[in-house]
A and B are shown apart, each in its own frame.
Chain A
Amino acid sequence: MSQTPLIAGDFLSLLNEHKLPPFRSEISASAPIETQATTVFAFHFSEGILMAGDRRATAGNVIVTDRVDKVIEIDATSLLAIAGVPATAFEMARVLQTSFEYYRRSQLQPLSLSAKVRALARLLRDNLPMTMQGVGIVVPLFAGLDHSVAPPKPQVYFYDPLGAQFQAVGYAASGSGSGTIRSILSFQEQHGKPRPSQMNLRDAIQFALRLLMTASEFDSATGGVNPATETFATIKVLRSTGVETITEQQQREFLKS
């Protein structure tokens, strides 16, 4: 952790003067290297929202697996994309899956999009102690259907590690490869023909796969896409009718065309 900048006379300076640093500066040598998952993104296209992620998980400079699913179907109309520590993120997904389905079945109506977005924010806030300790950080994306309009409209939200939620107008990305992906999405949104929001399903899937291929060239923690090794992305589409999973077979065909 970088040295905390000190202001003369403030509380941190006082603690520092007495050799009581408020933040632990070194992680214990015996602590395991935590597994991290990157890279995920979502953007609006002509039929709804496409949410995708590579399938790599790393621990330091070790590739743990190239087969992790980071885009998770929470219920028939909600998607969660995880970047950060899978141990925490998968548990958050499980809590959300159970609580959304429990509400829908017991109340005989689905939970509102606002409540779903806040439920994830609350889980992130509850995870704050772990985040502050430098372990268990999760920075997810969430997509859901807004049922307050007809037909229901897919929306994307992104979060900060403390749980603040922001609605994405066109796109959102998270994880170590997100810088590259955001740059390309921003360029495509402003100058692309077609723009992501105008793409049909075929174009959107091809675009998503190429985004991951590009991100993997600049970020070793991003797994990328390689048909030769049967490595594809996790891609899910959220329309006003619900979630559809784009299979590896479909991705292979879209890449060929």
Chain B
Amino acid sequence: MTEEPYRWLEAVGNRREYVREQLKGGSPVFAASLPDGILLLGVGGGQSKVFELFDRHALAGLGHPADIEKIRQAAIDAAHVEAFTRAPEDVSLRRLVSFGLSPQLKTNFEQIFSAPFLVELLLVEIGSAPDHDLLFRLHFDGSFQSQFGGIAIAASQPDAESAAKKWLSETAKGKGSRNEIADLLLQAWWCLIANKSFESVPSEEERRKGWRESVQEKTVELGWLSRKTPRPARYEPLTLAQLNL
């Protein structure tokens, strides 16, 4: 039997709908470039969402734990092979995403007889200054956007994600400390999971009360890539208590 081209297009379209549907309940993850480092934040209900990849690299993601794990392993493998073959300084996030992870995700997404990856990801690389921090937003179909510095979000709904990013970028202006930003990210997280509009956001008090109540049965994961540590491995996990939150 001959498969007409439109059937392939239709199948790919169906897969996109299927993946979005599967990811709908996913808990968003955040990355914020600060003067002293990059803060990553995720709120999980029993599964990890924030990971160290290499000396200057980290990942945060939402989606199916098995798929996140596969991508995490692939990224760690590629980074360590590169570091051992050349030098740790030669491990670049741009190469890792655009030559490693993205083509693999795209290929997998378009092979309609295999299961697609159910993931939305953030990958970050710390630089010598916030302007040199590289933040990648990698989607389940392999497409990606990059930015230097600022705040990045990975959420299951594109519209809500861009609204939250716009709100966060404006609200975070003038704030540079880790605990202020972590608090703000958690407020945005609560607005996203509670389907609050970013056009008319609830009051700060309500947002803060909202995230505190919502994380009670969950685990807040914080990752910190430090710009100031003398060690090659810049990543350290943090707790809310360490940030006085």
22 contacts between A and B (CB under 8 A): A73-B231, A76-B233, A94-B84, A98-B80, A98-B83, A98-B84, A101-B80, A101-B233, A102-B76, A102-B80, A105-B51, A105-B52, A105-B53, A105-B54, A105-B76, A105-B80, A106-B73, A106-B76, A106-B77, A108-B48, A108-B51, A245-B230
Known pairs A102-B76, A105-B76, A105-B80. 13 more at Cβ < 8 A?
A75-B233, A76-B233, A98-B83, A101-B233, A102-B80, A105-B51, A105-B52, A105-B53, A105-B54, A106-B73, A106-B77, A108-B48, A245-B230
Residues of A bordering B, CB below 8 Å? 73, 75-76, 94, 98, 101-102, 105-106, 108, 245
Per-position contact with A for B38-79: 1 when CB-CB < 8 Å, else 0? 000000000010011110000000000000000001001100
- List B215-236 residues whose CB lies under 8 Å from chain A: 230-231, 233
List chain A residues, Cβ under 8 A from B54.
105
Bound CA–CA A108/B230 (angstroms): 22
Bound CA–CA A101/B84 (angstroms): 11
Chain B interface size, as a band, is 10 to 19
List chain B residues, Cβ under 8 A from A105.
51-54, 76, 80
Residues of B bordering A, CB below 8 Å? 48, 51-54, 73, 76-77, 80, 83-84, 230-231, 233
List chain B residues, Cβ under 8 A from A75.
233
Residue of A nearest to B231 (CB): A76
Bound CA–CA A93/B142 (angstroms): 37
Greatest chain B CB density within 10 A among A73, A94, A105 is at A105
A-B residue pairs, 6 tightest by C-beta: A102-B80, A98-B84, A106-B76, A105-B76, A105-B52, A98-B80
Residue of B nearest to A94 (CB): B84
List chain A residues, Cβ under 8 A from B84.
94, 98
Bound CA–CA A73/B51 (angstroms): 23
Q: How far, in Å, is A213 (CB) from chain B's closest CB?
A: 27
List chain A residues, Cβ under 8 A from B83.
98
Bound CA–CA A75/B232 (angstroms): 9
Bound CA–CA A94/B86 (angstroms): 11
Q: How far, in Å, is A110 (CB) from chain B's closest CB?
A: 12
Bound CA–CA A53/B54 (angstroms): 29
Bound CA–CA A98/B54 (angstroms): 10
Q: How far, in Å, is B127 (CB) from chain A's closest CB?
A: 20
Q: How far, in Å, is A91 (CB) from chain B's closest CB?
A: 11
Bound CA–CA A105/B230 (angstroms): 19
Residue of A nearest to B53 (CB): A105
Residue of B nearest to A106 (CB): B76
Bound CA–CA A189/B84 (angstroms): 41
Q: How far, in Å, is A192 (CB) from chain B's closest CB?
A: 33
List chain A residues, Cβ under 8 A from B230.
245
Residue of B nearest to A245 (CB): B230
List chain B residues, Cβ under 8 A from A102.
76, 80
